[in-house]
Chains A and B, each alone.
Chain A
Amino acid sequence: MSHLLPLLIAVPIIGALVPAVLGARRPVISRRLTVGILVGQVGLAVAVLVAVAATGPRTYVVGGLPAAVGIGLRADAVSTVFVLLVAVTAAALYVTVRTDTTGPTDSLWLLFVAGLTGIAVTADVFNLYVFLEISGLAAYALVAGRHGTRAALAAFHYLLVGTIGATLYLLGVGYLYVATGTLGMAGLRADLAAVGYDSPLVVTAFVLVTVGLGVKLALFPLQAWKPDAYAVATPDVSALLATLGSTVPGYALVRLVFDVFTASFLDAVPLVRTGLVVVGVASVAAGGYFALRQSDVRRLLAYSSVLQMGLVVIGIAIATPAAVTAALVLLVGNAVAKGGLYAATGVFARRFGATTVDGYAGLGRDAPLTAGAVSVAFISLVGLPPTVGFAGKWYLVVAAVDSRAWVVVAVVLLSTLVSLAYAGRVVERLYLAAAPGGTEPVATDGGGLADGPARERTVVFVVVAALATVLVGLGSTELAAWFAPVVEGWL
């Protein structure tokens, strides 16, 4: 049991060799082994979750070195949820949506999982950078994996912006090290208080770290890479990135703000809090505005994520237990809904060649199950009960009212209407617009129509994701209670 935490990272990293070695010559075996590794990862994640539930947070130092210099790992109630989310999503998407399984890209898939899992369980801000880069590089390459200039350009854009973000984060870590001489999260927490929260060094570090992660979260105005990357990637990759690519950095932001800098830092430097609110509100506004103007559904969904991440940041800025719970619930809710929606865009693109809002006209009749699931996922994004989106919004509004942050209350409530407007565009088109002429299946660049079973499995994924938004919503009290000990420990 004691080696579960390092295994969480070691299994996908070492496993990434398998497709690289076997992929070209023994594709079937390679694919099966990859599935095995991903399923094993789910098992590990569950085991860690159970262990944390039974005996509380677990820590591990690689090689038995002292925590100050060693690679520390730590899993608590919050991080295990994200570890499990990463493992389940990666495995489910690989089995259901992924069709292009050639060696190198499967390795990237596993590296992406390793990087994100590492972000979730690391107890060290420098290692967090390393894992951020591992997942980032894998993501750039996965986007570039689709042939064509558009993919190459989008991946290059993503690479440039992502690298700048990671570099800013690293700079921030450097400042932290200069200020305190340590990189472990627990040590930093104590030492930062000793250095003084209003020290320019600490404030600068916070700004750099936040901006760096803000790129990964695609907060306004650092969001431009996201719609490009998600719109050109293959459906499986865009579903994977949309589910996890910003969610886990979002978790990292929560972790860094409350576990390293702590809420006292936010209290000591009110300007930082104001800045977070402004960025959050701007992201909500910009995300909603751009989402309304998109014709490509995948770009629309990317901007919807910008809006959702804005809400998360608002939750972080309010920094009460209810608000942090809201941020975490919104992260999970957005991930589940977006995973299903991006997988659904793949179904529509492959079966009907439809990628735009107008192209979706009348597809509710031809693909009733997928369209129904899409509607449910959109309802969650809008934030109507009983979905998880509503639960997150509810906690956020309660927290904002409790803190008497009226502007935030208004913004969060109005975001519902903006989300409704963009979601309504798509859903109304799905069901009500007369289909333009023939609706025979059209083969598009995504490959032929022969991928019947894969398509069916994709629909299963979409439906399960939609159901999950409802089930997690119904279980939101339990989810919040699961987060509660950690969240209250932070505050």
Chain B
Amino acid sequence: MTDTVSVLPLAAVLLPTLAVPLIYAARTRPRLRETVTLAASIATLVTVWFAVQSPTTLVTPLGSFAGIPFALRADAAALLFALLAALLWVVTSVYSIGYLYALDEHAQTRYFAAFAVSIAATMGVAFAANLLTLFVFYELLTLATYPLVVHAGTAKARAAGRQYIAYTLGGGVAALGGIVLVGVLTGTVTFTPGGIDGLGATDTTLARIAFVLLVVGFGVKTALVPLHGWLPTAMVAPTPVSGLLHAVAVVKSGVFALGRTVLYVFGPETTWDLGLGLPLAAAAAATMVIAGVVGLRQDNLKRGLAYSTVSHLAYIALGLALATPVAVFGAFIHVVAHAFMKISLFFAAGLIYVETGEKYVSDLAGVGRRLPMTMTAFAIAAAGLIGFPLVAGFVSKFHLIVGAAASPHPAFVVAYLVAGVLKLLYFWPVIYTAFFGRRESDSSESRHPFAPPHATDGGYVEQAMWERRSLTREASPLLLAPVVATAAAAVLLGLFPTAFPFWALAEAVVVEVFG
């Protein structure tokens, strides 16, 4: 495909940015403020959609920064990520409004503004045409998500924020070192499908060090063990943040940058020639198993989901590391599939919290009776993450496993299978207790009939039994609709994977990289 100069990639970055002053200007009028967010998210989605439709590759050159060309380029990988993030931003905006209103959260303006900046930065990461441009937006994403992590303002949130910043900016320092090394070794940091020419032919020790620095740097946001510590802690953030940013935008910026490093800077061949593919694959395989095991012990629902994210990002990282065409294809498809499924789960977790005030799995026995639609969506998304057919996760995992089997190291198939079993072990008890469990207090004899309901944390009144409501009154439609929509999308992605542009884009990536 030829390159065409266009403002569309820049527009995708600028539209969310321009929303920020408007959000602040409308801070006293919440409805107008939320309209701005929604309008910006839809406008961003439309912009990215037009870029997807373009027959040529769109490029926005933006001069140079610190002596390196600064440019945005909408190649297939960029479009896949940008389309995903833009699409889910629209859904998450609706959900955010319902969530913040329902909980009457403080600092809503700051929340929506920081969210918009985060999306702008994510768009920048997606469209970056070279490592330096990517790095600029990567760091910006860290800064923009910080206020969201510490949103609650409690000591716990502050500690989480400090840890978040230390991990991610620490990783940024390593990545910067790697970028400089690549630039000095080859004289360019521009992404080239199949790798920058001559990187493998230069000083191999330095090239290896550069790779390690980049993988460590981007591995922090990818949450590769042992660089994952920040992610479960960051779950202290409001749930929409955990859903879009810490299951999609931030962590996938990490794995996306990792993909850029393996496929577009070093290239699959050089990566394996230098002996770097196997260690990365081993790290990813170890991550998916370790996170799966640790996740089993989490009672806090969001923390459990966070460990599941750690594990699933390692699926993607392993696919990228094995670097066979099918594995890479599976990795990019899994970026999309995991996003839809995991955001459904987070939305469900947030809805449960809003409606019942519960955060712990052990307190959720029987909640399926109170929230039948929500928990059905939860079960479907969870089934997809385990790898059941007919849901998006099966399609991507199938390709990842086939790709691993075709690689020189088919043993990694076992890692995927073990991780799948671990997911089953984690999700099954959650789903089972939600639908079939009973609270200890469900038996009315155990309580004195006139005993006053006792308040638990958050001031919610614990009810002896889950209240039954009609389906239409299950929860605010602003919360319920996104849950149902993303879960339904996950199913559609599983039933008709080729009907969505993501499929063709992932194919284009493979063609571009492997020729």
Identity of the chain B residue whose Cβ is nearest the Cβ of A420 in the assembled complex = B169
Q: Would you give the 0/1 interface string for A458-491, flagging 1 where the beta carbon is closer than 8 Å to chain B?
A: 0000000000000001101100100000000000
For window 398-414 of A, CB contacts with B under 8 Å fall at 398, 401-402, 409, 413-414
With A385-B135, A428-B158 known to touch, is A398 a contact of B180 (CB < 8 Å)? yes
**How far is B183's CA from A434's CA once the two chains are assembled, in angstroms?**
45
Q: Are B161 and A384 touching (Cβ within 8 A)?
A: no
Cα of A480 to Cα of B67 in the assembled complex, Å: 8
Known: A385-B139, A477-B65. A424 touches B162 (CB 8 A): yes
Instruction: Given the known inter-chain contacts A385-B135, A416-B169, please indicate yes or no for A477 contacting B180, CB distance below 8 A.
Output: no
CB <8 Å contact, A428 and B66: no
Which residues of B have CB within 8 Å of A424? Answer: 162, 165
- Which residue on chain B has the smallest CB distance to residue A384? B139
Answer yes or no: A158 CB below 8 A from chain B CBs.
Answer: no
Assuming the contacts A384-B139, A477-B63, asked whether A428 and B180 have C-beta atoms less than 8 A apart, the reply is: no
Picked from A386, A401, A416, A476, the residue with its CB within 8 Å of the CB of B173 is A416
Interface flag for A348 (CB, 8 Å): no
Whether the pair B139, A414 counts as a contact (CB closer than 8 A) is no
Q: Is B169 touching A386 in the complex (CB atoms < 8 A)?
A: no
- A50 is an interface residue with CB less than 8 A from chain B: no
Kindly provide the distance from the CB of A443 to the nearest chain B CB, expressed in whole angstroms: 29
Query: How long is the Cα–Cα vector from A391 to B66 in the complex, in angstroms?
Result: 5
Give CA–CA (A480, B68) in the complex, Å: 12
Q: Is B508 in the interface zone, CB < 8 Å from A?
A: no
Which B residues are in CB contact (< 8 Å) with A397?
Answer: 176-177, 180
Query: Is B244's beta carbon under 8 Å from chain A?
Result: no
> B153: nearest residue on chain A (CB-CB)?
A432
Tell yes or no: B456 within 8 A of A by CB. no
What residue in chain A is nearest B158 (Cβ atoms)? Answer: A432
Contact A395 B67, beta carbon cutoff 8 Å = yes
* Contact of A385 with B136 in the complex, beta carbons under 8 Å: yes
Interface residue B410 (Cβ < 8 Å from any Cβ of A): no
Residue among A390, A394, A428 with most chain B CB within 10 A? A394
Question: What residues of chain A lie closer than 8 Å to B166, measured between beta carbons?
Answer: 417, 420
Interface: B453 (CB within 8 A): no
Chain B nearest Cβ from A410, distance in angstroms:
8
Contact A379 B143 (CB under 8 A): yes
B181 at the interface (CB under 8 A from A): yes
B64 at the interface (CB under 8 A from A): yes
* With A398-B180, A428-B162 as contacts: A390 and B66 at CB distance below 8 Å: yes
Out of A385, A401, A413, A480, name the residue touching B140 (CB < 8 Å). A385
Query: Are A420's CB and B139's CB within 8 A?
Result: no
Tell which of A391, A417, A431, A432 touches B169, judged by Cβ atoms closer than 8 Å.
A417
- A401 near B66: Cβ-Cβ < 8 Å: no
Known A-B contacts A385-B135, A402-B184, A432-B153; the reply to A391 vs B173 at CB < 8 A is: no
Which residue of chain A lies nearest to B63 when distances are taken between CB atoms in the complex? A477
| Chain A, residue nearest B165 (CB) | A424
Contacts of B150 in A (CB 8 A): 428, 431-432
- Chain B residue at minimal CB-CB distance from A379: B143
When distances are taken between beta carbons in the complex, the residues of chain A under 8 Å from B136 are: 385-386, 390
What is the size, in residues, of chain A's interface with B at 8 Å between Cβ atoms? Answer: 29
B170 contacts A by Cβ under 8 Å: yes
Query: With A and B bound together, what is the CA distance between A428 and B147 in angstroms?
Result: 10
Residues of A within 8 A of B147 (CB): 431
Select the residue from B139, B143, B150, B176 with max chain A CB neighbours within 10 A. Answer: B176
Task: Determine the distance from Cα of A431 to Cα of B64 in the docked complex, in whole angstroms.
Answer: 33
The complex places the Cα of A474 from the Cα of B68 at a distance, in Å, of 11
**Contact residues in A for B139 (Cβ distance below 8 Å):** 384-385
Instruction: Looking at the assembled complex, report how far the CB atom of A288 sits from the nearest CB atom of chain B, in whole angstroms.
Output: 14
Q: Are B165 and A391 in contact, CB atoms less than 8 angstroms apart?
A: no
Bound together, the chains give a CA A477 to CA B63 distance in angstroms of 9
- Asked whether, in the complex, the Cβ of B67 is within 8 Å of the Cβ of A413, the reply is no
Give bound CA distance, A473 to B63, whole Å.
13
Q: Mark B146-165, 1 if CB is under 8 A from A, else 0.
A: 01001001000010011001
Contact flag A384-B181 (CB < 8 Å), given A395-B67, A432-B150:
no
B157: nearest chain-A partner, CB-CB: A432
| Interface of chain A residues 421 through 462 with chain B (CB within 8 A) | 424, 428, 431-432, 434
Closest to A395 in B: B66
The interface residues of chain B lying within 8 Å CB-to-CB of A432 are: 150, 153, 158, 161
Contacts of B181 in A (CB 8 A): 401
Tell me the bound Cα distance from A476 to B66 in angstroms.
5
A394 to B132, CA, bound (A): 10
Residue of A379, A398, A473 ringed by the most chain B CB atoms within 10 A? A398
Q: What separation, in Å, do the CA atoms of A432 and B158 have in the docked complex?
A: 7
Chain B: which residue is nearest A325 at the CB level?
B67
Tell whether, in the assembled complex, residue A394 and residue B173 are in contact, meaning their CB atoms are under 8 Å apart. no
Contact with A along B337-348 (1 / 0, CB 8 A): 000000000000
Taking a contact as CB atoms under 8 Å apart, the answer to whether B67 and A477 are in contact is yes
Q: A395-B66, A395-B67 are in contact. Are A417 and B158 (CB under 8 A)?
A: no
Residues in chain A near residue B170, CB distance under 8 A: 417
Which B residues are CB-close (under 8 A) to A395? 66-67
Q: For residue A434, which residues in chain B have a CB less than 8 angstroms away from its CB? A: 153
Chain B residues near A416 (CB, 8 Å)?
Answer: 169, 173, 176
Give the complex CA separation of A473 and B174 in angstroms: 21
Return chain A residues, CB-CB under 8 Å to B135.
385
Among A385, A402, A416, A420, chain B packs the most CB atoms within 10 A around the CB of: A385
Q: How far is the CB of A47 from chain B (nearest CB, A)?
A: 28
Residues in B whose Cβ lies below 8 Å from that of A394: 66-67, 132, 176, 180
When chains A and B are docked, how far (Å) is the Cα of A433 from the Cα of B292? 36
Q: Which of B132, B161, B173, B180 contacts A414 (CB 8 A)?
A: B173
- Given B165, B169, B177, B183, which contacts A409 in the complex, CB threshold below 8 Å? B177
Task: Provide the residues of chain A in CB contact with B63, threshold 8 Å.
Answer: 477
Q: Complex formed: what's the CA distance from A93 to B169 in Å?
A: 34
Q: Which residue of B lies closest to A362 (CB)?
A: B153
Q: How far is the CB of A315 from chain B (nearest CB, A)?
A: 14
Name the distance in Å between B148's Cβ and chain A's nearest Cβ: 13
Smallest Cβ distance from B162 to chain A, in angstroms?
7
Report how far A281 CA is from B139 CA in the complex, Å: 25
B250: shortest Cβ distance to chain A, in Å? 16
* Bound CA–CA A74/B478 (angstroms): 69
One digit per residue, 1 when the CB lies within 8 angstroms of any chain A CB and 0 when it does not, for chain B 177-208 equals: 10011011000000000000000000000000
A residues less than 8 Å from B180 (CB atoms): 394, 397-398, 401, 409
Q: How far is the CA of A434 from the CA of B157 in the complex (A)?
A: 13
Candidate in A401, A414, A417 with the most chain B CB atoms within 10 angstroms: A401
**Nearest chain A CB to B135's CB is how many angstroms away?**
7
Report chain A residues within 8 Å CB of B165. 420, 424
Nearest-Cβ distance from residue B234 to partner chain A, whole angstroms: 15
Q: Which residues on A sit within 8 Å (CB–CB) of B174?
A: 413
Contact B65–A398 (Cβ < 8 Å)? no
With a CB–CB cut-off of 8 A, which chain A residues contact B183?
A: 398
Question: Nearest Cβ in chain B — how far from A377, in angstroms?
Answer: 14
Q: Which residues of A contact B66 (CB under 8 A)?
A: 390-391, 394-395, 476-477, 480
Residue with the highest number of chain B CB atoms closer than 10 Å, among A382, A413, A473: A413
Minimum Cβ distance to chain A for residue B203 (Å): 10
Docked CA distance A390–B183 (Å): 16
Report Cα–Cα, A402/B139, bound state, in Å. 24
> Which residue of A391, A402, A414 is within 8 Å of B65 (Cβ)?
A391
A-B contact pairs, 17 of them (CB 8 A): A379-B143, A382-B169, A384-B139, A385-B139, A390-B66, A394-B67, A397-B177, A398-B183, A413-B176, A414-B173, A417-B173, A424-B165, A428-B158, A431-B150, A432-B161, A474-B65, A477-B66
Q: Please give me the 9 A-B residue pairs with the lowest Cβ-Cβ distance, nearest first.
A: A385-B136, A394-B66, A391-B66, A477-B64, A401-B184, A397-B180, A413-B173, A384-B139, A401-B180
7 additional A-B residue pairs with CB within 8 Å, beyond A416-B173, A420-B169, A432-B150: A384-B172, A385-B135, A398-B180, A401-B181, A409-B180, A413-B173, A432-B161
